[in-house]
Structure 1
Amino acid sequence: MTEQTRDRVGVIETRGIEPIPDSERHGKPIGLFWMWFGANMGVLGITLGAALITFQGLNVAQAILVAVIGSVGSFLLVGLLSIAGKRGGAPGLTLSRAVFGVRGNWAPTLVAWLGFVGWETVMCTTAAFALLALLDLAGVAASVPLTVVCVLVTVVLAAVIGLFGHATIMWVQKWLTWVFGGLTVVVVVFLAVTVDWAAAFDQTGGPMSSVVAGVGFIAAGTGLGWLAAGADYARYLPRQVQSRRIVGSTVFGAAVPLVALVTMGALMAVGDADLASSNDPVAAVGNALPSWMLVPYLLTAVFGLIAGADLSMYSSGLNLITGGIKVKRTTAVAVDALLITVGGLYITVIADDFYGPFTTFLTLLAVPLTAWAAVFLVDLAGRHHYDEPGLMNTSGPGPYWYRGGVRWTALIAWAAAIVLGLLFTHTQSGDTVWFAGPLSDTWVGQNSLGWFVSGLSAALLFLVLRRIAGEESVFRAPAVVTQTADTEAITSEPVVNP
């Protein structure tokens, strides 16, 4: 971490969604490794792994394969989208204005914001469960008022880190990774001792269709939920940083803890089929530990989940501003905190089913987010420059005004792809069907590939519509990033963008 970064730690970030000037760019891609590692070491990974055994019918070997493909594949998309943050210096959904138009971008921004708020609610709620369990060990009996306090504490902790902004988040994530990542390793080792290894490797495997469905489930529960956030944390990196290092740091930082935790969840589910469907996944995992391990485990669960929630709060605050809400970034984070508190109290005090709503949320959210990412990546493949004043011009005319503020080729492709994806989408918990599209009983639907249909169709439709419309823009700038054999250099050549 550079000295320039340290100077900003503990100081509230004053920048909102405006592009970061080169003079304020700093850091190295390794920071992304620590950030994504810390964000993915939460106990929810164990719950996802247990679901592969209990609900998908996989054996342990298949679950490990699915964990690798699902987490690496989904965070590969996050890494590729992060490249846009380095090129444009702005948050992902702000850069999306160049793709959808400054007004057409409102719809993807709303979907991404709802996704972030949902993830924050799930993570803060699960952290509150862990805090309640920790207090129970101290002899404090659970009650509704105490539950309310625990939810408030976890939300406030995540919100405070999110309020300080980028530099503080990167610093906190690094130390959370070192301290609680180490504790996570200790917990995983002790959980491994409780596993019935003979039974685990004596299981009959599920059909290939279940493996395919499992990959989609893990992707939806891991990287696909973070698609809109990648650029938010790469925007402070210098332009000359290699794109492949950004992608590599993102993928490995997230995949290492995820594969370990999902695998452990699968192993534990062999002996405890109820783990995946528990309304309190933190307590369910804790029941498998010796009593003296509960305190470090619960502390790890609390701070591991907060490490993910603070990232999501930061990004959702930026999205709220991108959507046109004229407030400071700190105010946007506070609004999110209020909404998360309400949602967290509903889950902890009123709702009696954690897994059903959680998996439904993941499955349905994956469809529009994957479609957005596909359209964005098609545009990014031919774009090395963003008109920075144009990104902030929401009143027109400007380079991203298109027709009435909407780039119809992108918006129509995105919307049509969502419809196509939902046709094949099916989500179910036990005997309860939460959502079933009219084509969900086909091979594609039964294998939970609605999100894949959405992403593929979005990319193809955008390519076709763009060609039909004859869209072509030429951006000339005094400094444009181009790829060389060893690094990315700055030239003055014009860049043609589809």
Structure 2
Amino acid sequence: MVATDEAGAAAVLEKHTIAPIPLTERHGRPRDLFTIWFSSNVMPLTFVTGALATAVYGLSLPWAVVAIVVGNGLGAFLMALHSAQGPRLGVPQMIQSRGQFGYIGANLVVGIAIIMYVGFATSNLVLGGQALNALSPHISVDAGAIVCAAISLVITTVGYDLIHKINRWLVPVAVASLIIGFVAVPLVHGISAKELHAGSYSFAGFLGMVSIGALWQIAYAPYVSDYSRYMHPEEKVSSTFWNSYWGCNLGSIVPMILGALVGLLAATNQVAALDRDTGGIGWLLMIIFFVAITNTNALNLYGGMLCTITFGQTFRSAMRPGARARAGVSVAIMVVSVLIATAIKGNFLADYNNFDLLLFYFLIPWTAINLLDFYLVRRGRYDVGSFFQPDGGVYGRFDVRALVAYAVGVAVEVPFWDTPGLYVGPLAKDLQTDISWLVGLAVTVPLYLLIVRARRERTPEAVAVVA
């Protein structure tokens, strides 16, 4: 940062993008990780994801709650392990993947992460447009999406400290919105015994929602270290882990349960249903939702910007991008997201569900390799300088072992894929549910460990930190 004083840091543009954060500029506290992951999850997209449990998977409310809690709890464990990498290495999450896949090889997963960011940004823009449209029918969904995009761009352009500061401010607002939703829906709309007991348990539906909950958390893995990399490397792993775990877990579970409740009342457009079913205070929820969407979209845009710069820097190693590059790349990503958002809004829930599942398939093998390499193989000891050398330094340009393990991990999932309208694997048809993520983990974990131990790679003795 231009200044190291935390109180004034958000007043200036962040100057770093993908470069290591010097020790003299490290700042922040582990509890900042709780606030950023709690606040950023209390938003309409989380709410709509919870609605899948009842509106799409047909679960009863009690079984929906269990599936949401189990899925998020499992996924948040992996997400929080990634968060602890940030203070240790001081670089964005996907730059660190060069330590497993090689300088150029990492672009495979970086490219997938870019697609993920665009997808989530697009989803948030649709919901942001719907929130403004619910406030005033004179504001079209498309116009609302553009307003949401513009505000998110401003936040991303200022950078890291402003993002953290906004999320600290939003904690009480997020809590208030959840209380309003849970109190107002039963009081205003009323929930009949028939609605409350609608749906039923099914193994396919239950496991499907567990998978969605776990994916929700694991989808944060490519950018979780982006928001802890300014913290001092001496921060305890346990502190960064638990603050990230509980922030993301609680911030996801509660709005998802509210979504599952409203999903019993409306099979489509749950955002409009929540506005309608909360009566005279629905407008307040829509305002809160819109603010939450622009905040979360700034996180998606910030992560997408870092990944896009990482991808480009691979081919222009001398490039030292700063605030100007961050602004330009962010504008490009947001323009693409707005164009997609205006095209998919008509069939949003189905498109979003399929997109969610596709992400799951490609993120699972990567997160397994990244965490195994960090915690078991190298035990957090990386040569950060090698991440930026055109030849990959000690990690090379390609790490065939990691790429093979990743490819096998994705390939074994394919027969278990279940994305209606896109592809349903033969084993998914037989099982009538999607367990591809379990299969991917079960194969990738032992395979990567076996490959690495068969041919030990030279490991630096200490983390190289730019002072």
For the criterion TM > 0.5, the same-fold answer is yes
Query: Does residue 297 in structure 1 map to residue 280 in structure 2?
Result: no
Return 450-459 or 238-247, whichever deviates more: 450-459
The structure whose residues are more often helix, as a share, is 2
1:286 corresponds in structure 2 to 275
2:193 corresponds in structure 1 to 198
List per-residue Cα deviations over 1:376-404 (Å, max 9, x = no partner).
Answer: 011011322221211111x2261121xxx
1:459 corresponds in structure 2 to 445
Q: Structure 2 CA distance, aligned partners of 1:417 and 1:69?
A: 23
Cα separation, partners in 2 of 1:199 and 1:337, compared to 1, 3 Å: farther
Query: Does residue 311 in structure 1 map to residue 274 in structure 2?
Result: no
What 5-or-longer segments of structure 1 have no aligned partner? Answer: 481-498
Displaced runs of 4 or more, over 6 A: none
Contact 1:125 1:347 in 2 (8 A): yes
SS at the partner of 2:434?
A: coil
Aligned partner (choices 238, 248, 256) of residue 262 of structure 1: 256
Return 405-414 or 44-53, whichever deviates more: 44-53
What 5-or-longer segments of structure 2 have no aligned partner? Answer: 314-318
Cα separation, partners in 2 of 1:478 and 1:185, compared to 1, 3 Å: closer
1:40-79 paired onto structure 2 within 5 Å: 40-79=41-80
Contact 1:313 1:333 in 2 (8 A): no
Return 342-351 or 208-217, whichever deviates more: 342-351
RMSD of the alignment, in Å? 2.3
Contact 2:124 2:297 in 1 (8 A): yes
Aligned partner (choices 375, 396, 403) of residue 411 of structure 1: 403
List per-residue Cα deviations over 1:434-453 (Å, max 9, x = no partner).
Answer: 3223432232xx32221222
List per-residue Cα deviations over 1:346-374 (Å, max 9, x = no partner).
Answer: 43366521111111111001111111100
Cα separation, partners in 2 of 1:336 and 1:451, compared to 1, 3 Å: farther
Matched residue pairs, number?
454
Query: Does residue 153 in structure 1 map to residue 147 in structure 2?
Result: yes
2:244 corresponds in structure 1 to 250
SS at the partner of 1:473?
A: coil
Letter of the 1:363 counterpart = L
Aligned partner (choices 421, 436, 441) of residue 450 of structure 1: 436
Query: How far is 1:319 from its partner?
Result: 0.7
Query: How far is 1:329 from its partner?
Result: 5.3
Length-normalised TM-score, structure 1 = 0.86
1:387 corresponds in structure 2 to 383
Letter of the 2:194 counterpart = A
Query: Does residue 471 in structure 1 map to residue 460 in structure 2?
Result: no
Q: Structure 2 CA distance, aligned partners of 1:296 and 1:3?
A: 37
Q: Structure 1 CA distance, aligned partners of 2:272 and 2:388?
A: 47
2:316 corresponds in structure 1 to none
Q: Structure 2 CA distance, aligned partners of 1:192 and 1:331?
A: 48
Contact 2:305 2:326 in 1 (8 A): yes
Contact 2:100 2:402 in 1 (8 A): yes
Cα separation, partners in 2 of 1:197 and 1:3, compared to 1, 3 Å: farther
Query: How far is 1:317 from its partner?
Result: 0.9
Cα separation, partners in 2 of 1:450 and 1:195, compared to 1, 3 Å: farther
Query: How far is 1:133 from its partner?
Result: 2.1
Length-normalised TM-score, structure 2 = 0.91
Query: How far is 1:192 from its partner?
Result: 3.5
Q: Structure 2 CA distance, aligned partners of 1:7 and 1:183?
A: 29
1:484 corresponds in structure 2 to none
Cα separation, partners in 2 of 1:342 and 1:101, compared to 1, 3 Å: closer
Q: Structure 1 CA distance, aligned partners of 2:145 and 2:303?
A: 21
Identity %: 24
Cα separation, partners in 2 of 1:422 and 1:192, compared to 1, 3 Å: farther
2:391 corresponds in structure 1 to 396
Q: Structure 2 CA distance, aligned partners of 1:92 and 1:32?
A: 15
Q: Structure 2 CA distance, aligned partners of 1:371 and 1:36?
A: 23
SS at the partner of 1:287?
A: helix
Contact 1:184 1:297 in 2 (8 A): no
List per-residue Cα deviations over 1:246-304 (Å, max 9, x = no partner).
Answer: 111112112223222111222223333x2xx33xx4213212121x2122111111011
SS at the partner of 2:419?
A: strand
1:286-435 paired onto structure 2 within 5 Å: 286-290=275-279, 292-325=280-313, 326=319, 327-328=321-322, 330-348=324-342, 351-382=345-376, 383-393=379-389, 395-396=390-391, 398-401=393-396, 405-428=397-420, 433-435=421-423
Query: How far is 1:122 from its partner?
Result: 0.7
Q: Structure 1 CA distance, aligned partners of 2:349 and 2:464?
A: 50
Query: Does residue 216 in structure 1 map to residue 208 in structure 2?
Result: no
Contact 1:200 1:267 in 2 (8 A): no
Contact 1:45 1:261 in 2 (8 A): yes
Contact 2:103 2:392 in 1 (8 A): no
1:119 corresponds in structure 2 to 120
Letter of the 2:278 counterpart = L
Return 251-260 or 23-32, whichever deviates more: 251-260
Q: Structure 2 CA distance, aligned partners of 1:87 and 1:309?
A: 26
Cα separation, partners in 2 of 1:347 and 1:15, compared to 1, 3 Å: closer
Q: Structure 2 CA distance, aligned partners of 1:342 and 1:388?
A: 32
Q: Structure 2 CA distance, aligned partners of 1:478 and 1:271?
A: 53
Query: How far is 1:11 from its partner?
Result: 1.2
Contact 1:195 1:271 in 2 (8 A): no
